[in-house]
Structure 1
Amino acid sequence: MPADDQFDLDTAVDALYARPLDEFIAARDAAVRQATDNGDRLGAARVKRLRKPSVAAWVINQVAREHPDEIGALATLGDELRAATQDRDRARIRALDHLRRERTDALVRAVRESGEVGGRSVSSAVLDRMTETLTAAVMDPDAAAVVRAGRLSRALQHVGFGIVDEEGEEAELVELRPATSEAGGPEDAGEPEGEGRPRATGRSKAAVAPKAAASNRTGRSKPKEAPTADETDPAEADLVAAEHAVEETSARVDVLEARRDEIRERLRAADEVIERGEDEVERLDRELERLTAERDAASEALDDARETANEARTDLEALEDELDDAVERAAEARRRRREARGR
């Protein structure tokens, strides 16, 4: 097939993942027809198997297109982390892991503040999936390739020694097309068209294929297998096994140190909350003491005022009785005066 046809198909697939999510199925079918019309039956079959992305995967694909520099920086950071891990440079690992969190948080925060991607609102659950996927892109070069290509069908998670999708299933990170062998022919030669063997992702040709494509494929770059006894001597086989063990244990150390740093960060944040809480409790205790003293003083003043009011009320009642008597005596005196004048 002419190279231009392959490029056209690849361009169509890029456009497929860039479209609004609701248009994915129709655009995929159009790409299949295009490949078929160009005589690329194998490419058409592979495109046909591409799954419609989840909402989280679609959002991440659009973010990768809108922020290629930030995604590329995270992928480069992953390369540096792996180099530091191989060198067992723990100080460098800690610094790079801190930088990873900063860059990931910054990108997620930008999306959160925007509130939408491509006109679609972004939920907190999608932001969590985005954080997990960006972390996976740092930790795994194949995941980084797929994220940079913007061709995810499911968000990713890095767990221990592998990558799983947002459903907890082992992720398949594969190329859209088979790579060529050293002899120049396709490595899938001899396989039926439309059922090509998936390979580890490339930097710009990556896509996530459905799990139904093959049940025994992880899609990640497979670790180099130890030579058989027929190919090498026992000493070399022991060396290969030892190197493999070093890689695995170093990776485990990296994972545990990252978890330790995360727990330390949680502890630091909790300590800050505790310190602020204790300060606030002390302030409120002081305020409560002041208000209690004011309340007691006001209560005492109220009691005094009530006692004064009671005394005044008693005095008023006595005075009113005395006044009534005086009024009656005055009236009697006026009556006697009138009688005396009438005589």
Structure 2
Amino acid sequence: MQYPRHKITHGEEMMSAMADAMPLPVVVIARDERIMAANAPARALFNESMVGRHYITVLRQPILLDAIENVLRLSEPADATYRITESQRDLVYDVALRPVIVEDFACVTIAFEDKTEVQEAGQMRRDFVANVSHELRTPLTAVLGFIETLLGPAAEDANARERFLTIMDREAKRMNRIVGDLLSLSRVESERRVRPTAEVDIPAVLRSVVLSLQPVAEKQNVKLIVEGAETSEMVPGDHDQLTQVFTNLIENAIKYGGRDKEVHICMTSHTVEPTMRSSAIRVDISDQGEGIASQHIPRLTERFYRVDSHRSREMGGTGLGLAIVKHILNRHRGRLRIESHKGQGSCFSVILPYE
């Protein structure tokens, strides 16, 4: 693009003011190829002292530099992608480059639109579909294989028929649990922006959940010990969803804590809860199991993530329980904290604000 020679004009001042008014990061490049203006979001993205510098020294990525050069040369709009890594997270921006020519004034405006969340959501959907397909394909393949065998070679074998039907029953129930958890997760996500307003008595919920899980604990010879849940403590919440949270966590503690052990459920009330900066109820659910290696803890609430896939499936786990817990607590503006060390058991803490 060939620009006429000129002095600083009102047009340049106007472009600078317009850039400042834009919510997206906007950079304006003058005809001498230096950055004429950059609004606050752009300076935060690149450099506070970027104005006045040649654009090549600030916008260093070759794809973006080629696009800018083409707009300067051809006076035609262009689009590009800008990628950076910040705090171990890959950020992706769609970049719109547009020439501006008005009488004796010319420049190029560059707007950056953050598409990171859109791309991450798309990747999450693809991963989710792949995970669901894998989780359902395994039991479905087993069931179809046993049906084929029962219709063929084992049609008259009573012992094989009973053994295969038992396995088919287990696999079918597993598929049913997966579908049930998927539906539950979908319902929670659909309500994630609507905070519940009903009052829920947390100690009463804990006592009810412990009573319902007592038979499960007895099968494992696990002793459930409840502390601090004698009185009534009310918080805004959804009774059924909070029941699901404590059921999932206490049942996990029973299953993975090991036989002949204890599970401690301790409820405390904090006037100032450090993680919430407000008053809150905290429920700690501790087991005496093998513990969880530190590298697994940040991923425990991911859908279908398992520390030990084989053991989890053998115990009837779907890989969705902690994901459901996390989404329910997010809806309640609560927190889930996980502390664990190999060989020292695990503690899952639920924190719910009073207001």
| TM-score, length basis structure 1 | 0.22
| Greater percentage in strand | 2
Structure showing greater relative contact order (alpha-carbon pairs closer than 8 Å, 6 or more residues apart): 1
| TM-score, length basis structure 2 | 0.21
| Greater percentage in helix | 1
Greater C-alpha Rg: 1
